[in-house]
Amino acid sequence: MNYARILLKLSGESLSDKGASGIAVDRLNHYANEVIAVLDKGVQVAIVLGGGNIYRGLEGEGLGMDRAQGDYMGMLATIINSMALQAALESRGYKARVLSGIAIDPLCERMSRRRAIEYLEQGYVVLIGGGSGNPFFTTDSAAALRAVEIKADILIKGTRVDGIYTADPEKDPNAVKYDKISFEEAYEKKLNIMDLTAFTLCAENEMPILVFNINEKGRLAEAVTGHAVGTLVSTPKK
């Protein structure tokens, strides 16, 4: 199946080298090139980035900080990552806009469903930072919310493994990969795909989730053009 509009979710850690923090230029360039390959096929792309390479909201609790304060700091980290990817895309001649769950004038505009869709239809990559704009919600939950809001055809979660397995394939060599699985089955098997809030929001709105290895060159373009890539989580057709 070909997809006309996607919401791509990337973790903040994906922008840094393993075991490091901050933004690695080679990683940033790789993701920019992957997104461009999809844009060149006429696909509309929105992106939600995490901020864990810079700051995680939960880290604040270890410092005696209020959880909400830490979460707001984490939201700022997602905006920094979004701005970095925006710059990488624009340096290659592609249009990109950063919208945010929290307004930071003049760096980015406040996220609204209509504004995001208008930019997508005009050919912009829309990077949605600032999480949901509220503390106590993960960027996975924000990605699910934004995917539903902009009426994406699918939420694509880029990871460092090539799909969903019966166990962690990095720890269990006998883990078996699923090509397709239903929301109900994934829930019953307690598979760690996204946090429960995000997963439930996608299930209730029949928003399919594709999990795949974003670090392999060309995989994102394959995913949006119907190739068998990663693991698809969806609601079975009646």
Report the pLDDT value the prediction gives residue 57, as an integer from 0 to 100: 65
Q: What's the pLDDT score for residue 27?
A: 94
CATH of range 5-193+200-228; options 3.40.50.300, 3.30.70.20, 2.40.160.10, 3.40.1160.10: 3.40.1160.10
Q: What is the pLDDT of residue 147?
A: 98
For the chain, where are the alpha helices, taking DSSP H only? Answer: 25-39, 59-62, 67-90, 113-121, 139-149, 183-188, 196-204, 219-224
Taking the C-alpha atoms of residue 165 and residue 134, their distance in angstroms, rounded to an integer, is 31
CA distances (Å), 37 to each of 31, 159, 174, 208, 231, in order? 10, 18, 34, 22, 21
Task: Give the span between the Cα atoms of 11 and 13, in whole angstroms.
Answer: 5
- C-alpha distance across the termini of the chain, in Å: 18
Position 21 scores a pLDDT of: 83
Q: How many CB atoms lie within 10 A of CB 48?
A: 30
User: 72-108, pLDDT tens digit by residue?
Assistant: 999 999 999 999 999 999 999 999 999 999 988 888 9
Inter-CA distances, 236 with 1, 5, 87, 130, 220, Å: 15, 21, 40, 33, 24
Residues in the chain with pLDDT < 70? 57-62, 238
| pLDDT of res. 90 | 98
174, two tokens: 């006998």
| Cα separation, 66 vs 79, whole angstroms | 21
Residue 60: per-residue pLDDT: 64
User: What are the extents of the domains in the chain?
Assistant: 5-193+200-228
pTM over 0.85: yes
What's the confidence (pLDDT) of residue 77? 94
